[in-house]
Structure 1
Amino acid sequence: MSEQTVAQLLAEVASQVADTGLDRGLREDVARRVLDVLGNSLAAADQPAARAVTAVASAWGGSGHATAIAAGIRLPAPAAALVNGTLAHSLDFDDTHLPSVLHPSSSVVPASLAVAEAHGASGLALLDAAGMGIEVTVRLGMGGYDRDLGNSVFFERGLHATSICGAIGSAVSAAMLMGLDAKGITDAIGIAASMGAGLLEANRTGGTVKRMHCGWAAHSGVVAAELARAGLTGPPTVIEGRFGFLQAYCGERADVDAVTEGLGERWELPNIFFKPYPCNHFTHAGIDAALQLRAAGVRPEEIVEIELGAPSPVLRTIAEPPEAKARPESGYHAAFSGPFTVAAALVGGGGLGVGHEDFTDEAARDEERLALASKVRCVPDARCDEIFPNQFPAVLRVALRDGTRREVRVDVNRGGPGNPLSADELAAKFRTNAERSLDDDAAGRVAAAAYALPDGGSVGDLMSLVG
């Protein structure tokens, strides 16, 4: 084979990163994502899905070399990755890359932490491997983005690209931390491509399975790297081949060049959005608009009707079926409801505007929120369609009892490069998350240990604080 395949090129760059390291700015970016994942995971420790996955993973047994977050136990690295990836994604508070529409850190960071801890890797090696794994994940997602369609082909087909691409990104990071060479990383990619899975139907009609998608991706990636280390091999053309990853999932709409263009020179990593609100990212611009109206003095009791305009593709997630979105069956389902999230922001949320307390089962039964949600009509908006999915925009129009109408349009999401969260806001998000499992002093030690990673901080010391 005279030319490198896509998997071989990804592996070559990964091997170079393992040897030379990321630059300081990228390492600091990854450290922030590690802290964000840990905070999201600590906040989710009492979720039923997390408890279920932890119980199953614990029953598997095996030598415990990696920490299961907030569980007080150590597990084999694949099992710890499963548990921690499930925690990381359980509250839908994880970072998002656009326009691939992926949550890359929630699979790659748990896989990287588990393997780094099990193999005694340094904090710098962790950051380098996690950064490369995240980059691979989002680039594979970009390979499934169709500009003519204006959306992810994965999403159009009901596939959860976060978990499907995340399995491969996790395998790359795990293989790097295990010390595999470029050939071994290529094999890990080829093996992991047969393991990724995830369907989005739970977003529409219920079930808690989606919460463990990132855990399964992290688990798959670690297992794939372990199998490659043991001698199992994968097809070198697994990404672009006739029966390979992109063809199987995206068909003729796949963009192979998007995966490799500028690889190792132009990084997508710093462009990944941090979430300010613990709910589906498609709802965030509507929340921002509602918060602006609230700040301008609009009160819920004055509102007669509300129109939420959004990109056409996202309405399947946040607006359908209309009856279910107006009255979500649980707090988790409320986090995927355009009407409910707008109502929560107008009534008065916590956190950075809307917080965890807005997505409890009790909050989902709150009659004030539900009465307001029932007034929300979700519609496609042409300007939003033009912008999506480079942003997840929205426009909110309200009619008031005095006959006046108000409109707020949000084109740029809070938390991304165009409207970033400040260091204080990121710290506030972490504290709000961590306080569900740790006291203030312990949370401060976790933050300090995570931010020390670019200066040679210890992975073991960090994980000992969150077990």
Structure 2
Amino acid sequence: MAEPTLSRRIAELAAETDLGRLPADVVASTRLRVLDTLGLALRAQELDSSRAVIGYVADQGGRAEATAIGVAGRVPAALAALVNGTLAHSLDYDDTHLPSVLHPSAGVVPAALAAAEAVGASGAELVAAVAVGIETCVRIGMAGYDKESGNSTFFEHGQHATSICGALGGAVAAGMLHRLDADGIQSSLGVAASMASGIIEANRTGGTVKRLHCGWAAHSAVTAADLTRRGLTGPPTALEGRFGFFQAFLHGTFDAGQVTDRLGEQWAVPGIFFKPYPANHFTHTTIDAAAELRRRGVRPEDVESIEVGVPGPVIRTIGEPIEVKRAPRTGYQAQFSAPYAVTVGLLGGGGLGAALEDYTDELAADPLRRELMAKVSVVADPRCDAIFPHQFPAVLTARLSGGRTETVEVLANRGGDQRPLTDEEVGRKFADNAGAALPAGEAERLRRAVLALDTLADVRALLHP
């Protein structure tokens, strides 16, 4: 008998997994990821890019199947996934898996939620589908992780792995919620492989299209599962085939073991990093290090220069072009700037240490922050290189007036396995985000409902009680 293909292995896991087969820590973590994702999507409605997608979907019409945040009534499930996925990724506040550097929940959760609403699935079904979808997304992403270089091959090719792998993970989740068998889920993944896309040039030179990527992944996922249940089929060797996914995106260089090893036994979900701050994840330890300088009594006027040492591969995202990173034109550009991260930490931020209110167009242009950013350089640090990409460390060296020097090392990310957020901190993050978009009572109702998600008989009551 022929060895099962990679997509078959994933499909069989998906077809046989229900809530009772998931470890307790996977269930608990999955609930928190649904909570986090919904809070982010609710908060992101205020962005111009969000309004563009919300307006687009509101104009489309169609069957009332699922909730699109910001759109009155229900809309077709794929369009709901488009809106919610876009919003979930738009604040650069969504969770991160390392070392793949994927943001799995922002694509998978909106796809699963839309499919679940469309079919009237239970909360238990939704939790199982999200867990398997995230697992699929991460494992496919890790197949493209190059251990030798310590970097993702997807990124080296200019591809946004989050969007690309998220489409496949979301398709598996949506297939489960449509109650497809292993053949159907395998086809759903195979169809989505022809829809996966996303390039990351916007990270480097601007543009808001990256915010769309998780929405497009979720839209592709829901569409793939819906087409599959109607009879469309995908190739059984969609991943490893001669003209398959890994050949197309990774030029045929991939680690199949990352997809199959201990599949169904070892789960990625509990180890995925929550983001405490609404900025590119590479900047977080810089915020923490600068905050430590502040706690030591360093004031902006004391600073003559600050050198931010980071892993070499992240410099192109948060340190180049240095002229742009020292003078971001918008709050969005500031989210990808190590010099701006120094200002947030040194001046003090809101929320858990940095809040959305700290990343505005006005603050990006603030003369005090501009003056401070002009004194910041970003360099590769060998200590950080040795740790990356399992963490995104930073070493700050501040040269101060009077000849004094202060050095701060932050070698592990807050929100990750070494410095995890508590459930209460994740809840506070949700309250800050959802509370800005919903009445206080409704935000609290939603929080309680999500934390009891696996007991919910019909997920349509989640967003429309």
Distance 2:427 2:363 in 1: 25
TM, length-normalised to structure 2: 0.98
Task: Tell me the equivalent position of 1:397.
Answer: 397
Counterpart mapping for 1:110-259 below 5 A: 110-259=110-259
Distance 1:366 1:464 in 2: 41
Distance 1:265 1:119 in 2: 29
Distance 2:321 2:457 in 1: 48
Distance 1:201 1:437 in 2: 31
Distance 1:29 1:458 in 2: 20
| 8 Å contact from structure 1 (residues 44, 88) kept in 2 | yes
Distance 1:73 1:326 in 2: 43
Distance 2:354 2:19 in 1: 42
Task: Tell me the equivalent position of 1:266.
Answer: 266
* Amino acid aligned to 1:188: S
Counterpart mapping for 1:54-93 below 5 A: 54-93=54-93
| 8 Å contact from structure 1 (residues 450, 457) kept in 2 | no
CA deviations 1:246-266 (Å, max 9, x no partner) are: 122112431111111111001
With over 3 angstroms needed to count, the CA separation of the structure-2 counterparts of 1:296 and 1:19, relative to structure 1, is closer
After TM superposition, give the deviation of residue 439 of structure 1 in Å. Answer: 2.6
Q: Secondary structure at the match of 1:95?
A: coil
Distance 1:239 1:291 in 2: 44
Task: Tell me the equivalent position of 2:378.
Answer: 378
Distance 1:128 1:173 in 2: 8
Q: Secondary structure at the match of 1:408?
A: strand
Counterpart mapping for 1:30-45 below 5 A: 30-45=30-45
Distance 1:342 1:75 in 2: 42
Distance 1:402 1:462 in 2: 59
Alignment partner of 1:438 is 2:438: yes
Alignment partner of 1:12 is 2:2: no
| 8 Å contact from structure 1 (residues 100, 142) kept in 2 | yes
Distance 2:199 2:108 in 1: 19
Q: Secondary structure at the match of 1:287?
A: helix
| 8 Å contact from structure 2 (residues 115, 178) kept in 1 | yes
Task: Tell me the equivalent position of 1:278.
Answer: 278
After TM superposition, give the deviation of residue 305 of structure 1 in Å. Answer: 0.3
After TM superposition, give the deviation of residue 385 of structure 1 in Å. Answer: 0.8
* Amino acid aligned to 1:364: A
Distance 2:422 2:18 in 1: 30
Distance 2:32 2:145 in 1: 27
After TM superposition, give the deviation of residue 47 of structure 1 in Å. Answer: 0.7
TM, length-normalised to structure 1: 0.97
CA deviations 1:140-196 (Å, max 9, x no partner) are: 110000000110001111110000000000000000000100000000111000101
Distance 1:159 1:370 in 2: 32
Q: Secondary structure at the match of 2:397?
A: strand
Distance 2:334 2:464 in 1: 34
Task: Tell me the equivalent position of 2:364.
Answer: 364
| 8 Å contact from structure 2 (residues 291, 346) kept in 1 | yes
Distance 1:400 1:155 in 2: 37
| 8 Å contact from structure 1 (residues 24, 454) kept in 2 | no
| 8 Å contact from structure 2 (residues 65, 74) kept in 1 | yes
Distance 2:73 2:338 in 1: 38
Counterpart mapping for 1:295-374 below 5 A: 295-374=295-374
Task: Please list every run of 5 or more consecutive structure 1 residues that lacks an aligned counterpart in the other structure.
Answer: none
Distance 1:136 1:281 in 2: 22
CA deviations 1:179-215 (Å, max 9, x no partner) are: 1000000001110001011111001111110001000
Task: Please list every run of 5 or more consecutive structure 2 residues that lacks an aligned counterpart in the other structure.
Answer: none
Q: How many residues align?
A: 465
Distance 1:330 1:411 in 2: 28
* Amino acid aligned to 2:301: E
Q: Secondary structure at the match of 1:419?
A: coil
Q: Secondary structure at the match of 2:46?
A: coil
* Amino acid aligned to 1:127: V
| 8 Å contact from structure 2 (residues 134, 269) kept in 1 | yes
Q: Secondary structure at the match of 1:71?
A: coil
| 8 Å contact from structure 2 (residues 19, 27) kept in 1 | no
| 8 Å contact from structure 1 (residues 65, 77) kept in 2 | yes
Q: Secondary structure at the match of 2:406?
A: strand
After TM superposition, give the deviation of residue 21 of structure 1 in Å. Answer: 4.1
| 8 Å contact from structure 1 (residues 18, 176) kept in 2 | no
* Amino acid aligned to 1:47: L
CA deviations 1:208-260 (Å, max 9, x no partner) are: 10001000000000000011111111111111111111122112431111111
Distance 1:5 1:288 in 2: 44
| 8 Å contact from structure 2 (residues 120, 458) kept in 1 | no
Task: Tell me the equivalent position of 1:100.
Answer: 100
CA deviations 1:264-304 (Å, max 9, x no partner) are: 00111111000000000011111111111112211111111
Which deviates further from its counterpart, 321-330 or 70-79?
70-79
